[in-house]
Amino acid sequence: MLCPPDQFVGRSILFGSRPPENDSIWQKVRDADFEVVTFDRSVFTNKEKQVDTALATKMLEDSFTYMKSDKGDMAVLAAGDGDFLPTIRSLQGRGLGVRVVSWKHAVSRELRDTADEFVELDPHFDYLSRPPAIS
């Protein structure tokens, strides 16, 4: 859903707050060849800190290091926060495409409308929430 099967995926990174030690989801993400970058939550408010800024920074760094506009390279952002608009616009300003993937209720209208492509996750809810088959 994030990238069509006929497209090359250059790098997959999941950013988030540090999970509990016994959290199996993060290990499944690592097993799927994602890099995982985590940050501690605020000690005072227990709110997520640094995640969005780190993600935006890495997208821009990687775009200069690995991506080429003349090859049609596209960044994929699985998020919905309008705070990513400056990053998206910067990528587009250099001729790179941006695909945003998010839930309909969780995406900023402006982010959705600014993206070159928008993939809505809602129609895929059953697939995404289905427990894995036991082999």
Angle at 67 between CA 64 and CA 72, to 5 degrees: 140
**Tell me: the pLDDT tens digits for 37-76?**
888 888 898 888 889 999 999 999 999 999 999 999 999 9
pLDDT above 70 covers a percentage of the chain that reads 96
Of 82, 88, 75, the residue nearest 13 (C-alpha): 75
SS3 54: helix
For residue range 21-31, what is the model confidence (pLDDT) as tens digits?
777 788 888 88
pLDDT at residue number 131: 66
pLDDT of residue 125: 74
